[in-house]
Amino acid sequence: NAGVMQNPRHLVRRRGQEARLRCSPMKGHSHVYWYRQLPEEGLKFMVYLQKENIIDESGMPKERFSAEFPKEGPSILRIQQVVRGDSAAYFCASSPRQGRHTEAFFGQGTRLTVV
Amino acid sequence: DAKTTQPPSMDCAEGRAANLPCNHSTISGNEYVYWYRQIHSQGPQYIIHGLKNNETNEMASLIITEDRKSSTLILPHATLRDTAVYYCIVQGNTGNQFYFGTGTSLTVIP
């Protein structure tokens, strides 16, 4: 029973390039959450998706960032025209349902470095 | 938005109980308290959660005060592998996202 799988684990991009981060939720989980962790800080919520739908994107930067969770395949967090300030660890979590009485399980993260 | 307050760091002797406090004075009646930990920049690991009753599982116990304004996570016999940053979290209004604060950095000392 594999956990939440994120790839790549490490990603290096030059300023102006695009970064694509992938997240495969746990089997049976249809809810996906993305978080960003800047160095020496806590995790910040970015976006919550359910299959083919964005439910809550209140934590997403207004520009350059987008997320999707297609019917088939992993969830993708896409960052266009990356800048140095995008360097961070990006974590994905999944849960089997929504609601207050539901724990989420996290992947090991993708560490993005923008050079 | 974090809604919780935790001490930035704590030490605990190996084999002793580690008691990690958390204040969440603005918690509303239907919001759960969750605890996660993050070991050395790995993905956060779920520990336990509760609403108003005390909870216990194989990892820890969660004690929530009667007024629900604070809680304590108890690791009954701390080991060196419990050294981590511990996050006390109150779920968002829709229950769909977690607001992480800066957590408590617990160091278990041999």
Interchain contact, A106 vs B45, CB within 8 Å:
yes
Q: What is the pLDDT of residues B7-51, one digit of tens each?
A: 999 999 999 999 999 999 988 888 889 999 999 879 999 999 999
Distance from the Cα of A13 to chain B's closest Cα (Å) equals: 21
Task: Identify the H or E element spanning B56.
Answer: strand B55-56
Closest CA to A17 of A68, A74, A75, A87: A87
Record the tokens describing residue B31, joined without a space.
């919001």
Q: What is the pLDDT of residues A45-96, one digit of tens each?
A: 999 999 889 999 999 999 999 999 998 899 999 999 999 999 999 999 998 8
How many residues would you count in chain B?
Answer: 110
Closest partner residue to A42 (CB to CB) among B30, B91, B103 is B103
Interchain contact, A42 vs B94, CB within 8 Å:
no
Cα distance between residue B39 and residue B60, in whole Å: 16
Distance from the Cα of A82 to chain B's closest Cα (Å) equals: 22
